[in-house]
Amino acid sequence: MEMYDLFDRYLTSITPSESELSRARRHRDTVASRIDLDGFVETVNSGSYIKKTALRPLEDIDLFVGFDVRDYEHDSHRVVSRIHRLLLGKFSSTLVHI
């Protein structure tokens, strides 16, 4: 077996399959759809998944959440606490990192 074939086999073994990517998309969409806080504006995809550099196992999603600054301009740490509690409540069996 040539080096090219070995590398191709290795790359295939670490690249998420289409079904794994589809599962990640569904999870991302589910998380985004459950963000219902005052001042919520948008979600922005980020991380290796969106850059197409994800490796197996595909275990997380990176999602930026945008809020209207007027709702939190005097107490910005409050939005972080609120979104953390919200996600913990809606995904109780999932490890949530903020």
Is residue 80 a part of any domain in this protein? Answer: yes
pTM value is: 0.84
Q: Which domain holds residue 19?
A: 3-90
Mean pLDDT estimate for the chain: 92
- Is 20 in contact with 12 (CB distance < 8 Å)? no
| Total structural domains within the chain | 1
Nearest to 98 by CA among 59, 83, 90: 83
Is residue 97 a part of any domain in this protein? Answer: no
Has residue 89 got a pLDDT over 90?
yes
Please write the tens of the pLDDT for every residue from 35-52.
999 999 999 999 998 899
| Alpha carbons 57 and 18: distance in angstroms, whole number | 13
Is residue 95 a part of any domain in this protein? Answer: no
User: Which has the higher per-residue pLDDT, 34 or 74?
Assistant: 34
pLDDT of residue 75: 85
| Alpha carbons 49 and 76: distance in angstroms, whole number | 28
Is residue 98 a part of any domain in this protein? Answer: no
pLDDT of residue 1: 80
pLDDT of residue 98: 83
